[in-house]
Amino acid sequence: MSPDGAIDVAVDRVALGAARTARRARSGKRLLVHASLIAAIALIAFPLYYAFVISTQSLTEVTSVPPRLTPSWHLWENYLTAWSRAKLGRLLFNSFVMAVGIAVGKITISILSAFAIVYFDFRGKQVVFWMIFVTLMLPVPVRIMSTYEVISTLGWIDSYQGLTVPLMASATATFLFRQFYQTVPDSLAEAAQLDGAGPMRFLWSFLLPLSWANVAALFVILFIYGWNEYLWPLMVTNSEEMRTVVVGIEKLVPRGGGEIPEWNVIMAAAMMALLPPVAVILLMQRWFVQGLIESEK
Amino acid sequence: MKRSVFRNRGLPYLLVLPQVVVTLVFFFWPAFGSLRLALYRSSPFGDRLMFTGLDNFTRLLGSGDYLESVLNSFVFASAVTFGGLAASLGLAVLANQKIRGLALYRTALLWPYGIAPAVAGIIWLFIFHPSYGILPFVLSAVASIQFNWLLKGWIAMLMIVTAAVWKQLGYNIAFFLAGLQAIPTSVLEAAQVDGADPVRRFWRVVFPLLSPITFFLFVLNMVFSFFETFGLVHAVTQGGPGHATEILVYKAYNDGFVNQQLGTSAAQSVILMVVVIGLTMLQFRYAEKKVTY
When pLDDT is cut at 50, 70 and 90, the band that residue B117 belongs to is: very high
- Residue A99 sits in the same domain as residue A179: yes
Chain A neighbors of B131, CB-CB under 8 A:
63, 65
- My answer on whether A159 and A49 are in the same domain is no
Same domain, A64 and A91: no
Q: Do A250 and B235 touch (CB under 8 A)?
A: yes
- Mean pLDDT check: name the lowest of B1-15, B26-40, B143-157: B1-15
Measured between CB atoms, does A193 come within 8 Å of chain B? Answer: yes
Interface test with A, best of B19, B98, B233 (most A CBs within 10 A): B19
State the residue range of the domain holding A248: 87-294
Q: Name the more confident of B122 and A187.
A: B122
Element (H, E) at A221: helix A212-228
**In DSSP terms, which residues pair with B50 in a beta bridge?**
B41
Judge whether residue A83 has pLDDT over 60.
Answer: yes
Hey, CA dihedral for A43, A47, A48, A52, is it positive or negative?
Answer: positive
Residue-level pLDDT at B74? 95
- On the question of pLDDT at B36 being above 70, the answer is yes
pLDDT of residue B291: 40
pLDDT top residue among A93 and B132: A93
pLDDT of residue A153 exceeding 50, the answer is yes
Helix (H) or strand (E) holding B40: strand B40-42
ipTM for the whole complex: 0.88
Give the domain range for residue B57.
50-118+165-292
Return phi, psi of residue B131, to 5°.
-100, -35
When pLDDT is averaged across residues B209-235 and rounded to a whole number, the result is 90
Give chain A positions within 8 Å (CB) of B178.
Answer: 289, 293
Mean pLDDT computed over every residue of chain A: 85
Q: Are residues A30 and A156 in the same domain?
A: no
Whether B2 is covered by a domain: the verdict is: no
> What's the distance, CA B236 to chain centroid?
17
Find the mean pLDDT for residues A228-240. 91
Helix, strand, coil percentages, rounded to 5, for chain B? 75, 0, 25
The last residue of one of the domains, among A75, A107, A139, is A75
Q: Is A50 in the same domain as A124?
A: no
Q: Is B234 exposed, middle or buried (0-12, 13-18, 19+ CB in 10 A)?
A: buried
The reply to whether residue B30 touches residue A137, judged by beta carbons under 8 angstroms, is no
Provide the residue type at B166 as one letter: W
Q: Is the residue at A173 inside a domain?
A: yes
Query: Which own/partner pairs from B232-235 qualify as long-range (CB within 8 Å, at least 24 positions apart)?
Result: B232/B117, B232/B118, B232/B120, B232/B121, B232/B160, B232/B163, B232/B164, B233/B121, B233/B160, B234/A230, B234/A231, B234/A234, B234/A250, B234/B118, B235/A230, B235/A249, B235/A250, B235/A253, B235/B118, B235/B119, B235/B121, B235/B122
Domain membership of residue B129 (yes or no) is no
Domain count, chain B: 1
**Residues 92-121, chain A, touching B (beta carbon < 8 A):** 108-110, 112-113, 115-121
Chain B positions in Cβ-Cβ contact with residue A201 (cut-off 8 Å): none
| Cβ–Cβ gap B15/A120 under 8 Å | yes
Provide the CATH number for the domain around residue B192.
1.10.3720.10
Quick one: pLDDT at residue B292? 35
Structural domain contains residue A82: no
Instruction: Give the model confidence (pLDDT) of A103-128 as tens digits.
Output: 999 999 999 999 999 998 888 888 99
Query: Are A141 and B6 an interchain contact pair (Cβ–Cβ within 8 Å)?
Result: no
What's the sign of the alpha-carbon dihedral B265, B271, B277, B280? negative
pLDDT of B290 > 60? The answer is no
Q: How many domains does chain A have?
A: 2
Q: Given an 8 Å threshold on Cβ–Cβ distance, is A143 in contact with B27?
A: yes
**CA A223 – CA A162 distance, rounded (Å):** 17
- pLDDT reported for residue A87: 87
- Supply the pLDDT for residue A187: 84
Rounded-to-integer distance, Cα B208 and Cα B218, Å:
15
Tens digit of each residue's pLDDT (9 = 90 or more) over B153-211: 899 999 999 999 999 998 899 889 888 888 888 887 787 777 778 788 888 888 888 88
**pLDDT greater than 60 at residue B225:** yes
Cβ–Cβ contact A260 with B under 8 A: no
Chain A, 275-294: which have a CB under 8 Å from a chain B CB?
277-282, 285, 288-289, 292-293
Q: Do A193 and B126 touch (CB under 8 A)?
A: no
Q: What does pTM read for this prediction?
A: 0.88
pLDDT at A191 over 90: no
Task: Tell how far CA A179 is from the center of its chain.
Answer: 22
Nearest to A250 among B26, B174, B234 (CB): B234
User: How far is the C-alpha of B125 from the C-alpha of B235, rounded, in Å?
Assistant: 9
User: Is A289 exposed, middle or buried (CB count within 10 Å of its CB: 0-12, 13-18, 19+)?
Assistant: buried
